[in-house]
C-alpha cells in the first residue's frame, strides 16, 4: 500500500465517498490524497499532524483537511495500549473538486464555495459554534442515498463556506509531491520523534534512526517540513503538555514539563510561552474558565 500518495478507493456508483471507521487506532502513516477530507471524530483522542503543525484532537470535533496535504491522526498512547473495544470511531467524507465534481464547482453559483476551499487549502478545525450544524449534516449524508445524498452535500458545502474566523491547520506549507520512499522515511521520522519525545532525544539519535548523518538529516528534515528538528520536537512536547494541562490530571506544572521531555522548568516555561503565547498556568486557567 502506498504511503504517499494514498489512493482513496473510488465509488463507481456515487460521487461522494462516505467512510466510517471503527477500529483499534488510526491509519498510522503520514499520507496525502487528492480528495478533500472532512472527518467527524466520534471516539478517540490524540494528535493530528498536518504539514508541519500539530493539533490535539478529541471526540466531538470536525476537521477539514485540504487536498494533497500530508497528514496523520496519531492516537494517544492510552488508546494504543487499551483493548480493541476502546479504539476509534470516525465518520469521513471524501470529495474531489477536480474530479467528478469539477463541473459542479465551476458553476457560477458555486464560485464562492470553490474560492473558500482554495483559500483554505491546508484545512481547518470546524469551530465549536458550527460543530452541531456540520456534524448533523455529515450524519445526514451518511444515512442518505442517491439524489438525496447529493442534496445534503450541497447544504454541507453551504454551511462550510459560511464559517468565519478560520484558523488554518498549518501555515506556509502548500501541497507538494512526495515519492513513496520519501513519504515512508518522513513518516518513520515523525513516528520515532512522537514515540520518544518524553525523554532526552538528541539530534544524533534521530539521525541514526533515519540512517543519516546529523548534517544530512538537518538539511533533509528542514527541506521536507520547513522547520528544524528542535522546533518540531518542541512542538510535539508542547502539544502533549497542553493536553495534560487541560486534562487536569497532573501533580504540578513542573511534573508536566519533565514528563514531556523538558529538562528544566525554566526552559519549559520559555518554550511554552513562545509557542502558545501564554504561560502554562495561564493556559490551564483560561481553559478551565471557558469550560466553567
User: What is the mean pLDDT of the segment spanning 9-32?
Assistant: 78
Query: Mean pLDDT across the stretch 265-281?
Result: 92
Identical fold between 17-160 and 197-291: no
pLDDT at 84: 45
CATH number of the domain located at residue range(s) 17-160 in this protein? 2.60.120.280
Note the pLDDT of residue 1: 30
pLDDT at 74 over 80: yes
For residues 41 and 2, give the distance between their C-alpha atoms in angstroms, rounded to a whole number. Answer: 24
* CATH architecture assignment, domain 197-291: Orthogonal Bundle (1.10)
Reduced to 3 states, what is the DSSP secondary structure of residue 222? helix
> Is pLDDT of 71 > 70?
yes
| Mean pLDDT along residues 59-75 | 91
User: What pLDDT sits at residue 3?
Assistant: 36
**Mean pLDDT across the chain, nearest whole number?**
85
CB atoms within 10 A of CB 13: 6
User: What is the reported pLDDT for 230?
Assistant: 93
**Which of the four pLDDT bands, split at 50, 70 and 90, describes residue 9?**
low
Q: What is the pLDDT of residue 5?
A: 45
CA distance readout (Å), 255 to 10, 74, 76, 156, 226 = 48, 23, 19, 44, 31
Higher-confidence residue of 259 and 251: namely: 259
Q: Which of 119, 97, 113, 87 is nearest to 37 (CA)?
A: 97
pLDDT tens for residues 134-172?
999 999 999 998 889 999 999 999 999 999 889 889 876
For 78-135, what is each residue's pLDDT tens digit?
434 444 446 899 999 999 888 888 888 889 999 999 999 988 988 999 999 999 999 9
And the C-alpha cell for 90?
470516525
Q: Please state, for a pLDDT cut of 70, what percent of the chain lies above it.
A: 87
Indicate the pTM of the whole model. Answer: 0.74
* Sequence spans of domains, the chain: 17-160, 197-291
For residue 4, the model assigns a pLDDT of 43
The DSSP symbol for 168 reads: B
The answer to whether the CB of 95 falls within 8 A of the CB of 150 is no
Q: Residue 75: what pLDDT?
A: 82
Residue range 213-230: average pLDDT? 89
16/62: higher pLDDT: 62
**Predicted pLDDT at 98:** 84
Q: Are strands 88-95 and 61-65 parallel, antiparallel or unpaired?
A: unpaired
CB-based burial label for 70 (10 Å; 0-12, 13-18, 19+): buried
Q: What is the pLDDT of residue 126?
A: 96
* Residue scoring higher pLDDT (217 or 186): 217
Amino acid at each position: 500500500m502506498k504511503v504517499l500518495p494514498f489512493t482513496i478507493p473510488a465509488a463507481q456508483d456515487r460521487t461522494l465517498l462516505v467512510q466510517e471507521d471503527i477500529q483499534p487506532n488510526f491509519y498510522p502513516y503520514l499520507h496525502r490524497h487528492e480528495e478533500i477530507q472532512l472527518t467527524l471524530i466520534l471516539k478517540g483522542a490524540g494528535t493530528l499532524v498536518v504539514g508541519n503543525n500539530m493539533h490535539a484532537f478529541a471526540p466531538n470535533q470536525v476537521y477539514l483537511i485540504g487536498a494533497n496535504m500530508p497528514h496523520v491522526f496519531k492516537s494517544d498512547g492510552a488508546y494504543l495500549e487499551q483493548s480493541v473495544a476502546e479504539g476509534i470511531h470516525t465518520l469521513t467524507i471524501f470529495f474531489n473538486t477536480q474530479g467528478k465534481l469539477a463541473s459542479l464547482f465551476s458553476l457560477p453559483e458555486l464560485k464562492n464555495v470553490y474560492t473558500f476551499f482554495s483559500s483554505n487549502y491546508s484545512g481547518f478545525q470546524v469551530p465549536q459554534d458550527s460543530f452541531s450544524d456540520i456534524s448533523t449534516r455529515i450524519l445526514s449524508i451518511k444515512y442518505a442515498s442517491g439524489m438525496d445524498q447529493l442534496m445534503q452535500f450541497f447544504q454541507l458545502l453551504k454551511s462550510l463556506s459560511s464559517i468565519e474566523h478560520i484558523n488554518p491547520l498549518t501555515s506556509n506549507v502548500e501541497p507538494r509531491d512526495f515519492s513513496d520512499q520519501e513519504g515512508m522515511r518522513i513518516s518513520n521520522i515523525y513516528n520515532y520523534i512522537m514515540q520518544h519525545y518524553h525523554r532526552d532525544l538528541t539530534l544524533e539519535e534521530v539521525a541514526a534512526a533515519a540512517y543519516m548523518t546529523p548534517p544530512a538529516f538537518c538539511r533533509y528534515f528542514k527541506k521536507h517540513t520547513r522547520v528544524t528538528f528542535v522546533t518540531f520536537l518542541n512542538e510535539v512536547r508542547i502539544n502533549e503538555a497542553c493536553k495534560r494541562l487541560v486534562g487536569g490530571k497532573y501533580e504540578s506544572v513542573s511534573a508536566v514539563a519533565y514528563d514531556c521531555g523538558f529538562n528544566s522548568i525554566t526552559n519549559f516555561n520559555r518554550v511554552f510561552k513562545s509557542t502558545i503565547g501564554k504561560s502554562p498556568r495561564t493556559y490551564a486557567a483560561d481553559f478551565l474558565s471557558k469550560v466553567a
